[in-house]
């Protein structure tokens, strides 16, 4: 949720930013006003996801699910480094070396997020707490992959749909986190009821 708030606040602070055309990274491009505020909001979002992933890691038994949470934590740390030290240049119609470095780090972060989703899906097969959402985990992982590939293709060929696919990609991931969280919360509530 905090990630969506960050994107909305960034969009308000950057009237030239178009969510369906521009990549999210454009709202905190180097040297633009309010970049520090937006970067801080992204870092807070990543910190909250790290806290969530740590909680999941501690509450599950499956090694695959735990590996997924480690991958997610590394992705969030990578994202926080990216936002602070490797922002994109303001869009000038050409790709700069800063943009190339930034995009390569984003690709690494996206792969870590994808690995997290894949590991959690395979972990759900042996993790009793996740079995009921196993099919959802598979579908969301496939959709995340498809949107990530489409976003990369749009970026490579300068197509104006990058913002659309990147937004879908982010929404799928945030929804995945939400479903995972709600499912684990329901499991805790059921376990508590049984103990009473």
User: In tens digits, what is the pLDDT along the chain, a chain of 196 residues?
Assistant: 566 777 777 777 777 777 777 777 777 766 767 777 778 888 888 899 999 999 999 989 899 999 999 999 999 998 888 777 777 766 666 677 777 787 788 888 889 999 999 999 999 998 888 899 999 999 999 999 999 899 888 877 777 777 788 888 888 999 999 999 999 888 777 776 777 6
Look up residue 48 and give its two tokens.
């909250």
Neighbours of 72 (CB within 10 A): 26
CA dist., res. 144 & res. 81, Å (int): 23
Q: Check if the beta carbon of residue 57 is closer than 8 Å to that of residue 25.
A: no
Full DSSP string of the chain? -HHHHHHHHHHHH-TT--TTTS-GGGGG-TT-TTHHHHHHHHHHHHHHHHHHHHHHHHH---HHHHHHHHHHHHHHHHHHHHHHH-PPPPP-SS--HHHHHHHHHHHHHHHHHHHHHHHHHHHHTT-GGGGGGHHHHHHHHHHHHHHHHHHHHHHHTT-TTHHHHHHHHHHHHHHHHHHHHHHHHHHHHHHHHHH-
């Amino acid at each position: 949720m905090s990630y969506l708030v960050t994107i909305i606040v960034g969009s308000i602070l950057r009237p030239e930013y178009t969510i369906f055309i521009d990549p999210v990274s454009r709202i905190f491009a180097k040297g633009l006003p309010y970049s520090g505020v937006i970067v801080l909001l992204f870092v807070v979002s990543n910190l909250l996801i790290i806290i969530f992933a740590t909680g999941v890691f501690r509450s599950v038994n499956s090694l695959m699910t735990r590996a997924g949470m480690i991958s997610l934590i590394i992705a969030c740390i990578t994202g926080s480094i990216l936002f602070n030290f490797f922002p994109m240049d303001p869009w000038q119609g050409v790709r700069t070396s800063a943009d190339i470095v930034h995009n390569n780090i984003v690709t690494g972060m996206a792969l870590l997020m994808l690995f997290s989703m894949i590991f959690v899906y395979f972990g759900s097969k042996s993790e009793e707490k996740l079995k009921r959402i196993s099919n959802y985990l598979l579908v969301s992982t496939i959709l995340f992959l498809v949107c990530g590939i489409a976003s990369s293709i749009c970026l490579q060929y300068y197509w104006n749909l990058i913002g659309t696919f990147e937004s879908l990609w982010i929404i799928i991931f945030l929804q995945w986190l939400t479903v995972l969280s709600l499912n684990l919360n329901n499991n805790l509530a059921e376990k508590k009821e049984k103990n009473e």
